Structures are given as C-alpha cells and as structure tokens.
Amino acid sequence: MKEGTAQEFDPSSYVYHGGGAQAEFGLLKERLAAYLKPEDVAQVEAAYRFSDAAHKGQLRASGDPYISHPVEVCTILSDWHLDVPALCAAMLHDVMEDTPTTMEDIAERFGKTVAVLVDGVSKLDKIEFQTEAQAQGENFRKMLLAMARDVRVILIKLADRLHNMRTLGPMAMEKRRRIAGETLEIYAPIANRLGLNNLYRELEDLSFFYLYPTRYSVLEKAVRAARGNRRELVSKVLEAIKQKLKDCNIEATVTGREKHLYSIYSKMQGKNLAFSEVYDIYGFRVIVKDVPTAYIALGSLHSLYKPIPGKFKDYIAIPKANGYQSLHTTLFGPFGTPIEVQIRTADMHKIAEAGVASHWLYKSSETSMNEVQQKTHQWLQSLLEIQSESGDAVEFLEHIKVDLFPDEVYVFTPKGKIFSLPRGATAVDFAYAVHTDVGNRCVAVKINHELAPLRTELRNGDQVEIITTAHGRPNPAWLNYVVTGKARSHIRHYLKTMQYEESAALGERMLNQALRALQAEPGQVSDAQWERFLKENSGKSRQEVLADIGLGKRLNVVVATQLLAAGGEAGVERKPGQVGAVTIRGTEGMAVQLAKCCRPIPGDPIIGFINKGKGLVIHTHDCPTIAEYRADPDKWLDVEWDPDTRKLFDVTIRLVVANQRGVLAKVAASIAEAGSNIDNVAMEGEDGSAYTNMTFTLQVENRVHLAQVMKNLRRIQEVVRIARVKG
C-alpha cells in the first residue's frame, strides 16, 4: 500500500502472478499485534478458525485454499488499523454466501455487530452490475453507499475487491474483463470519493491492466524509459526545492512521485495527447507542519521557479468534495518542463492518503489523536452528513453510520435495472416510474419476493416486482400516499378520463330515457342518424355528446329530439312529451353524486341537479338546501331509484338521549343488531346536563332498512327523540 517514489515505483509489482502466495494467519497476527491488544488478536484468530473450518475444501481459481482470500482481505484492512468487529467480519465475509452458516450463527459466536457487517457485505455481493448499463454507474455507486449504512461495510467490500483484482490472473478472459470493468466503473470511484487514494490508484491500474493489456504494457514501457531519461531532471528539481525551503528556514519533507498509469492514460485520452506530450508524469510533494507554513512554502517555491498562470489551486481554503486539502501549483522547471507541486500539512496528508480510513489508522497516535479525529469527523460530516456528535472515541465509532444520500432510495426491477426514487416513495410510485401502463394496471406488489401492500414505502436495495392485470385501474386512494409527481399526475389524469367515461355511460342512459319518452326505441336510432346529427350540431364525437349529457352540459331531451329529426322520417310527427325519469343505482361512480346535505337513500323521492361540467347531484325532494334553485327547470332532471340497488348508503340521524351510563353502548348495539354499520358518531352535551345529542352517520340499504333501525332505537328507554337529518 505504500506509494512509490519516482525511483522505486514499479506498477507491474501490483499484478499477481499466481502460485505459492498462500496467506498465513501468522503474518497477519504479527501485524495485528502491532496495534491491537492480545485478547483482540485472539478474537480475530477465532474468526479465522471459524472461517477456515467453514471454507474447508474450497479452493480459489489460483488453486490456493479459499481461506487465503479472507486472510488477505483482513490484512488489507489491518493496513488501515481497522477495529476488531470489522476484522472479524472481513474474515467471515464470504461464509454466508458460500457455506450453510447463517447470520444467527455469526451473531451467536461473534456478536451482533459482526453479524450485521457480514450481512451488509453479503447483500452487496448479491448485486451484480451489468457493464452494458454504464449510464447507471452513478446510481449504482450511490446505491452501494446508501445500502452499506456503516462505512466499515464499504471498506470490507473495497478490500475484498482489491484482493480479487490482485488475483484476477487465473480467471477466464471474459470474467477478467467484466470484473475489471466493474471495478473501474463502480469501485474505484467509490474509493476515490471516500478519499482512499492508494486503494483508488491500485484499483484503477489493475483494471487498466486487465481491460487494455496492450495499452498498459506500451504505456508502462514508455514511463519506464522516461523515468531513465528524466531521472537527472527529477533529482535536480528535488534538490533545488529542498535547498530553497532550507534557505527560507522552512521545515519540510519533500518527495518526488510518479502519477499512476491510469491517470496518465486518462489524461492522454481526455486531451488527445501522445505520451511524449504528457510532461507532468512526475509531481513533487511538500509536507509541512501547519497551514501558515504551507503558504510560506508556496511563496518560496514561486520565487524558485515561475508559476504557470492559471494553474494554482487552493484546496486548503476550499477543500474538495471528498475532504482533500492541499495547495497545488505548476512551475516552469528547468528547460521549461512543467513541474506539479502539492503542498500540505501532515494531517492533511494523512487524510489525503487514507481518507475515511484515516480515522482508524491514526486514532492511536496519542498526541494528534484529537485533532485528527476532529478533522476526520469534519471530513465525514461534510461528506456523510453525520447527525450525531460525540467526544467519546468508542461512541463515535458506533455512530459512523453512513447515509450519503438521505433523500433518495435505490431499488431494482426483477431484471436488475435500478430506479432512483425520492425517499418515502411507495410501490405505486415505483410502478409509475417503470411505465405509465404498469402504474395504471398495478394491483399488487412483491417486495423481495414477498407480497406487500401497494402503499409500502420502499427501502434501499429492495427488489420490486409489480403485478398488473389487464383490468387494473388507478385507485383515488393512491393519491393519499404517492410522493412522485409522475405518479400523481398520471393517477389524476386517469381519474379524469374515468369520470368522462362514466359520464358518457350515464349520458347514454339519460338519452335513452328521453328517446323512450318520445316513443322511440333507442335501438331504432341508426348510425346514419347519429352521423348527421353530429355533423349538424356539434362536430364532436358520439361519446363526447353522451358525456356532455351525463355531465349536464346538454339536455337529454334536446339531443333526443334532434337525433330523431336527423332521421328525416317525413310525416312522423313526434311530440315531446313527459321525459321519463333516469334510474339511479348509486354505483355510477363520479358521474352521479349523492348530495352530502340530505344524503338520499333508496325509497326517498329524489331529484337530480345538473351541475354543469361535474355531473348529476342527487338530492331528496324535500332537501332544504335546494329550495331556492327549484325555480329553474333547466337545471333539474327527473330521476328515480333503480329497484335493485345492492349497495349501502350513508344516512345521518340525530338522537337526543338521557345522560346515563352505558347509553352509547346500548345505542350502538341496537344499530348493529338491525344490520347497519356506524360510519361516524359525534356527541354534544353540556356537562351536567340531563340530555346529550348524538349524531350518527349510518349505512343502510334503503328507507325500509332505516325505518327498522329507528324503530329498534325507539325501544331504548333513554332515547328521548330521534330524527333523520336532511340539510
């Protein structure tokens, strides 16, 4: 994990050549003992033994025993001084996948924290990224981060990926390419975002090696040759910088560094340059003790070589999104060679190299612990929006729960496509995100293979399968819980269309009544008649005219008369007579509404009020609220109840009862006995008064049913008065 200097750097050393590199716990144990207590090392060793037994007989593609893999992953994590639960989880990270071991087994032996970490890693393992879906890379990265919750899960996953990349050699060509592509697309950027720079560079170079072996080797040779050619120049500059800083009394560590191959390659690709045109394959790094010194060092270097205008960047004042801080400048070196220099403090350097892992890595160095911890905390806070703050180191660790993108959830289709939805989104939102038709026809949902209510809020990583039927249709109740604009607007649109269709159906019935009243059978009206009528009268479609009738925009009698006239049957004089009443079933949907004021029920004499554009509102004949409109006959339509309504209707009754214990229970029991439901009840009565008013909204089949309910209620002694409420 150590970064090479210009002199010792050898990219090919990254690549695993197979054979005999079997990991032993002994080596790891030594590394662990350097920063852990003996009892902690013993715990990791117990995890090692458990894992070794579980993976017994399994081999890696290289021929090594499988246990070598978790041991190596654990070793990588020990470079960051990760804590015991993370190390144990790393040791066990594949046992749930590959062996019958369950999460409960792990929790029992190693505690809940370890089990949760292993489970987190296993969940990430189940997700397979399809490289074709490159556009989804960003979503995928976000999802991985959001799913992990605990940053240690990501660190284990990244170490796992690093070791798999290091041992990719024995795999089949296709698999190598797929894994390398995924690493470049998903895992290297995550490492970069978390500030894990060494890991990031190694992942990129390994991916580059497996994806483009020829380009890799050509570039590697070119860099090696350049290294020879430019060695003199590099050491000259290095000496000059050291001397200058010394002259200015600045204490600093200066190193030369070579950029990693993939970054050189990207630069050539991005700017369309030949290798000979890429000069800044070397950089110099100056580490100083504090921030003021960094700026003084910058000034002294600018007096050594001239800075190239426009190349200076102050990432100390304005840190990068991943918390990186440094001063960057490019100088005109000897022979006009551009020289990149980074200047930063030691603490900034730690974070620049290890990023999120610097918390574990440097927490034991007593003197700077608080400062580093604080910096790391700040870093995490800006990056991860951590809510909880704690001075206590242990508690702080417990609280590093990563929630990078708190406002979004990422879920899958059964085919593995990812959708990003706002937090709080439900299965219905998902259905509409997939396709409008899927939304309109959804009737049920399976979340992670189990049936769930459509209103279920989705969580990160859920696999969501929407079940549709041809006759499914949006439910107005969905509007109560959908959160996406898309779902909302499509449901609204559909309901509007529905209202139109229902209005057209009602309009047809109203028109048929009017035709019969004119002594014409509806079936007698020919298509030709309709066509002529539409041409002469409106230019609208038949369906639109019917909907207009249903919505009260046209009078049925007028349309009926005009239709018959369009028949042109000479000599057949039709006299407009009494228009028959339209029957109401109560199940017409949005085209017919039962007025809330009087709540008509079957058996009540009723009248229809044509509410232009909204449909028909049914009132009782004696409803007081309509009295003033009665004078305008154009607004009214004769309606009557269908003899067979088969539906329960709401009705309101008011009771005055004597204030005695248990009277409400008696009333409720009586209503239930009569086969009615109580939809709502309100009570009012002054304290200490002898009587209470109770207002019930009940559900009854019709007037006869209501009469039965009221008769039963009258038998209760405490009931003084009882009346149905209208208006």
Q: Catalytic site residues? A: 97-98
Site for Mn ion in 119-148 (CB under 5 A): none
Q: Which is nearer to Mn ion, 94 or 508 (CB)?
A: 94
> Looking at 154-162, 279-287, 308-316, 656-664, which segment touches Mn ion (CB under 5 A)?
154-162
Q: Which is nearer to Mn ion, 28 or 710 (CB)?
A: 28
Q: Which is nearer to Mn ion, 162 or 545 (CB)?
A: 162
Please report which helix (H) or strand (E) contains residue 697, including its range: strand 691-700
Residue 610: Cβ within 10 Å count:
23
Q: How far apart are CA 125 and CA 103, in angstroms?
A: 15
Q: How far apart are CA 391 and CA 214, in angstroms?
A: 52
Q: Which is nearer to Mn ion, 89 or 698 (CB)?
A: 89
- One character per residue 341-360, x = contact with Mn ion (rule: CB under 5 A): --------------------
Please report which helix (H) or strand (E) contains residue 292, including its range: helix 291-304
Site for Mn ion in 228-267 (CB under 5 A): none
Which 8-state DSSP code applies to residue 409?
E
The CA distances from residue 456 to 45, 444, 485, in Å, are: 43, 11, 17
Shortest approach of Mn ion to residue 75 CB, angstroms?
Answer: 13
Please report which helix (H) or strand (E) contains residue 501, including its range: helix 485-517
> Does residue 160 belong to the site contacting Mn ion (CB under 5 A)?
yes
Q: Which is nearer to Mn ion, 160 or 604 (CB)?
A: 160
Q: How far apart are CA 265 and CA 213, in angstroms?
A: 13
> Looking at 160-168, 340-348, 454-462, 689-697, which segment touches Mn ion (CB under 5 A)?
160-168
Shortest approach of Mn ion to residue 93 CB, angstroms?
Answer: 6
> Looking at 82-90, 153-161, 264-272, 577-585, which segment touches Mn ion (CB under 5 A)?
153-161
Q: How far apart are CA 119 and CA 97, in angstroms?
A: 10
Q: Which is nearer to Mn ion, 94 or 701 (CB)?
A: 94
Site for Mn ion in 468-487 (CB under 5 A): none
CA nearest 655: which of 638, 675, 670, 640?
Answer: 670
Which residues, in sequence order, are CB contacts of 719 under 8 Å at separation 6+?
655, 656, 657, 667, 713
Shortest approach of Mn ion to residue 293 CB, angstroms?
Answer: 44
Structure-token pair, residue 354: 């290890």
Q: Which residue is nearest to Mn ion (CB)?
A: 160
Shortest approach of Mn ion to residue 79 CB, angstroms?
Answer: 17
Long-range interactions of 295-299: CB distance < 8 A, separation 24+: 295/327, 296/248, 296/250, 297/245, 297/248, 297/250, 297/252, 297/343, 298/327, 298/329, 298/343
> Does residue 429 belong to the site contacting Mn ion (CB under 5 A)?
no
The single-letter code of the amino acid at 212 is Y
Shortest approach of Mn ion to residue 419 CB, angstroms?
Answer: 28
Shortest approach of Mn ion to residue 73 CB, angstroms?
Answer: 6
Shortest approach of Mn ion to residue 114 CB, angstroms?
Answer: 16
Q: Which is nearer to Mn ion, 115 or 458 (CB)?
A: 115
Strand 408-412 to strand 418-422: parallel, antiparallel, or no bridges (unpaired)? antiparallel
Q: Which is nearer to Mn ion, 94 or 429 (CB)?
A: 94
Residues in the chain, overall count: 727
Shortest approach of Mn ion to residue 20 CB, angstroms?
Answer: 21
* Total site size for Mn ion, rule CB under 5 A: 2
- One character per residue 623-642, x = contact with Mn ion (rule: CB under 5 A): --------------------
Which 8-state DSSP code applies to residue 502?
H
Q: How far apart are CA 230 and CA 608, in angstroms?
A: 96
Q: Which is nearer to Mn ion, 73 or 579 (CB)?
A: 73
Q: Which is nearer to Mn ion, 89 or 194 (CB)?
A: 89
Contact 405, 145 (CB under 8 A): yes
Which residues, in sequence order, are CB contacts of 675 under 8 Å at separation 6+?
705
Token look-up 């975002």 returns: 193
Shortest approach of Mn ion to residue 160 CB, angstroms?
Answer: 4
Contact 181, 211 (CB under 8 A): yes
Shortest approach of Mn ion to residue 69 CB, angstroms?
Answer: 6
Q: How far apart are CA 637 and CA 648, in angstroms?
A: 24
Helices (H) and strands (E) in the chain, counts: 27, 19
Which 8-state DSSP code applies to residue 463?
B
DSSP class per residue in 193-259: HTT-HHHHHHHHHHHHHHH-HHHHHHHHHHHHHHHHHHHHHHHHHHHHHHHHHHHTT---EEEEEE-
- One character per residue 83-112, x = contact with Mn ion (rule: CB under 5 A): -----------x------------------
> Looking at 152-160, 579-587, 593-601, 649-657, which segment touches Mn ion (CB under 5 A)?
152-160
Name the site residues for Mn ion (rule: CB under 5 A): 94, 160
